[in-house]
Amino acid sequence: MSHNYQERLAKIWLFFYSSALVLISGIYLAAFVYSYSSEWILASFYSVYQEILLYLAGAGTFIVVPVWFLYQQQKKKQSLIDLQKALLSNFNLFLIFVFGLYLLYSIRQFDVTLRLADLIWALFAVYLIYAFQSRLRQHGYPAWQNVTTTVTLMLGVLKAAIFFFIWVSADKTIIYVLLVLLLTELFIVFLKFAMLNRFSQETRQTGRILLTDYSFLFGSRLILGIFIPLVYTFYQLFTGNVQLRFLAIFLLIGEILERYLFVYPAVPVE
């Protein structure tokens, strides 16, 4: 099996896995924080929290089960690359995390609330994200071995959390968090290119590929994921009429494009 084919399969695997990890973990952490922020919220949000657990578990199953089968097929054909081998334990733990969401949902069907179990699972999600970015920086392609990898993953988790808060909360202070996030993300885009142009031939090639072969997607990611939300956020601040659900979809689209552009243009060491 050709090396290029192995790389393509590995990138398909990593794109779906990283998207599932970032979005599902971010939304779960936000739901956990929101549901336990006060007794009043817990009482009014209880049934919604149960549904969220089921939706997240279902979404995780829908994404990671086909990815698991792809991994098994690659393993049988001995077409795994070193990065996939390094991420195997992290991926298996994420499968356990998804199964645990089903378990937490099932427990609540008997009107049993285990706050300690929710806390443990929230800490588990944090560990998965930390371990994932650590493995990417240690074993990944040259373009990922810098601080922007960690920051973009953290921003992705935060965007998923804000997506959740926008849909369930009427708290208008979230607009200030969103504004800081978008400005930070814009800064990280420029910082990433500065780092790609600094380190090696592979990282410079990744930067060129982003601006040539993936220019349309990169431009779409900037416009849909950063500029439109940023302009709309400033508009909301000046008018005082804060309606953010319009932006939630753009945040989600922007993060999916970011995951795609993070994975596919990256050039391995020759």
- The pLDDT tens digits of the residues spanning 231-243 come to 888 888 887 776 7
- At 92-114, the pLDDT tens digits run 999 999 999 999 888 877 766 67
Mean pLDDT of 81-92: 87
pLDDT at residue number 43: 59
- CA–CA distance, 73 with 95 (Å, rounded to integer): 17
Of 56, 49, 51, the C-alpha closest to 32 is 49
Cα separation of 9 and 16, whole Å?
11
What count of other Cβ atoms lies within 10 Å of the Cβ of residue 187? 11
CA distance 163 to 106: 25
Average pLDDT over residues 253-269: 91
CA 163, distance to chain mean position in Å, is: 12
d(CA 56, CA 104): 12
Mean pLDDT of 14-30: 94
Mean pLDDT for 199-224 is 91
Q: Report d(CA 50, CA 105) in Å as an integer.
A: 6
User: What kind and span of H or E run contains 50?
Assistant: helix 39-76
In this prediction the pTM is: 0.90
**Measured between alpha carbons, how far is 59 from 71 in angstroms, rounded to an integer?**
19
The least confident of 65-69, 78-82, 182-186, 212-216 is 78-82
Please give the average per-residue pLDDT across 26-40, as a whole number: 80
pLDDT bin (cut points 50, 70, 90) of residue 168 is confident
Give the per-residue pLDDT at 64.
87
Instruction: Specify the pLDDT at position 15.
Output: 94
The model's confidence at residue 3, banded by pLDDT at 50, 70 and 90, is low
What percentage of the chain exceeds 90 in pLDDT?
48
Confidence of residue 44 (pLDDT cuts 50, 70, 90): low
Q: Which two tokens stand for residue 6?
A: 């192995």
Structure tokens at 104: 């937490």
75-114 burial, b at 16+ Cβ within 10 Å, e below that, comes to: eeeebbbebbeebeebbeebeebbebbbebbebbeeeeee
